Amino acid sequence: MEGLINILYHYNWPHFQRFGGFRHFWALRVFKWIHDQLNTLELPILFLPDELRTTISQKMLDIMVQIYHGPIASLLSETPFSDNLCVLHKTYTRSVNLVLGSSPNEVEITEGDSDLSFADINIIRNTINDYFSTISTITPILKHAKYCQVISASHWSTLAAEFYLHMTAKNQYHRLHPEFKSYSRLLDATFTASGFDFWLLHVNPTQKMLLALRAIRCLCYKVPEKWQAPAGFCSLVMGLLQKFQLEETECSKFYSWLEDLKQQEQPRLMDEQQIDEFDVEPQTSHL
C-alpha cells in the first residue's frame, strides 16, 4: 500500500485539469478510494509503525488536496460554467448568453451571441456529466468524513451551488428551446436534499448565484409546463435568499414563486431521512 500511495502522491494531478471523460472519472475514483481508506477502522496502515502510519496518512490527505484543486475544483471554475449563463446549440456551432434586465424586479432575459472559443465549447461538450457525478460524489464525502478534513466545506459548497444553479437555469432554457439539445441530459440530473442541506450550511452567497436564481424564476414563468423541482430545492433557494440583502418587492416575488414551486417539488426519499440521522458533524478545515 505504501508503494501505491507514493505513486499517487507524485502523480501530476494538475495535468488532468482540462480533461474530462475517463481521466476525470479515474481521478474521482482515487479521491473516493482515499476517503474510504481514511474513513474506515480497518485500514491496512493501522498495523504499521506510528511514524510510517502518520506519514502515509498525511500523504493520502495531500493527494486529496491535489486532486481537489486539479481535476475537480478547477474545472467547475471554468468560465463557460461559472461566469455567465451561456448555452450551446446541439451542433456546437451557435451559442447565446442569457442576460438579465437591469431591474431585478422586472426581470427579462435577452439573448446575445456568445464569444466562446472552440476550446471552451469542447470543455462543455465533454464534461457536463463528469461535473454532475463529481458533485454527487464529493458532497457526501465532505459531509461524512470522520478524519480531519483538508478540503474547505465552504469553498466546495459555494462552487457546487454556483455550478448547480447555473446549470439549472440552462435546463430551464432548454425546456423553452429544445434545439439546445446538449442540456436535455440535465433533466435527469438529481441531487439529494441532504446534499442541498450541506451546501446551505457552508455556502457563501455570491452574485453568480443570485444571477442564476433570477434567471430560473424568470424562465420558470415562461415554460408552459410546471417544473418539478428536486426535493430540497425550494429550501435551498429560500435559505440562499436570506443571505442576500434584496429589496422587499423582489423577496416577495421570490417567495411567491417558491410557494407555488414547493407544491410540485419531488418528495424527499425515506432513505435520505435515515441517512441524515447519522450525519457527521462538519470537520475543521485546514485550507
Examine residue 278 and state whether it is found in any structural domain, yes or no.
no
> Looking at the structure, do residues 119 and 59 belong to the same domain, yes or no?
no
Following DSSP, what letter does each residue of 128-143 receive, concatenated? Answer: HHHHHHHHHHHHHHHH
- Quote the percentage of the chain above a pLDDT of 90: 25
b/e code 57-94 from CB counts within 10 Å (16+ = b) = bebbbebbebbbbbbbbebbebebbeebbbbbeeeeee
- Mean pLDDT across the stretch 43-50? 61
Cell (9 digits) for 204: 457563501
Does 37 lie in the same domain as 149? Answer: no
Q: How confident is the model at residue 242 (pLDDT cuts 50, 70, 90)?
A: very high
Q: What is the mean pLDDT of the chain?
A: 76
Domain enclosing residue 37, as ranges: 1-78
Q: What is the mean pLDDT of residues 116-120?
A: 57
Exposure b/e, 158-189, CB count within 10 A at least 16 = b: bbbbbbbbbbbbbbbbbbeeeebebbeebeeb
Q: What is the predicted pLDDT for the residue at 286?
A: 33
Average the pLDDT over 66-86 and give the result.
72
Residue 204 has pLDDT above 90, yes or no: yes
In a domain, 279, yes or no: no
In a domain, 281, yes or no: no
Mean pLDDT of 88-110: 65
Q: What is the mean pLDDT of residues 6-20?
A: 75
Q: Are residues 14 and 34 in the same domain?
A: yes
Residues 57 and 194 in one domain: no
Residue 259 has pLDDT above 80, yes or no: yes
135 plus 39 within the same structural domain:
no
Work out the pLDDT band at 181, boundaries 50, 70, 90: low
Q: CA 247, CA 267: separation in Å to the nearest integer?
A: 31
Quick one: 154 and 22 in the same domain? no
Q: From CA 73, how far away is CA 126, in angstroms rounded?
A: 16
Which pLDDT band, with edges at 50, 70 and 90, does 171 fall under?
A: confident
Which pLDDT score, from 0 to 100, does residue 88 have?
Answer: 66
Q: What is the DSSP string of 66-81?
A: HHIIIIIHHHHTSHHH
Specify whether the CB–CB gap between 160 and 105 falls below 8 A.
no
Within this chain, do residues 128 and 216 fall inside the same structural domain, yes or no?
yes
Cell of 239: 435559505
Indicate if 4 and 106 belong to the same structural domain: no
- Which of 29, 63, 78 is the last residue before a domain boundary? 78
Please report whether residue 127 resides in a domain.
yes
In a domain, 280, yes or no: no
Kindly state whether residues 87 and 175 are assigned to the same domain.
yes
pLDDT average, residue stretch 123-129: 55
- The domain boundary, picked from 49, 78, 107, lies at 78
pLDDT of 223 above 50: yes
210 vs 171 pLDDT, higher one: 210
Domain total of the chain: 2
pLDDT digits (tens, 9 = 90+) for 16-36: 655 555 677 788 899 999 999
Same domain, 11 and 148: no
**Residues 38 and 152 placed together within one structural domain of the fold:** no
The stretch 188-197 carries a mean pLDDT of 70
Q: Are residues 180 and 48 in the same domain?
A: no
CA-closest candidate to residue 229, choices 189, 256, 195? 189
pLDDT confidence of residue 18: 52
**In the predicted structure, residue 284 carries a pLDDT above the cut 50:** no
In a domain, 285, yes or no: no
Q: Are 67 and 31 in contact (CB under 8 A)?
A: yes
How confident is residue 269, by pLDDT bands cut at 50, 70 and 90?
low
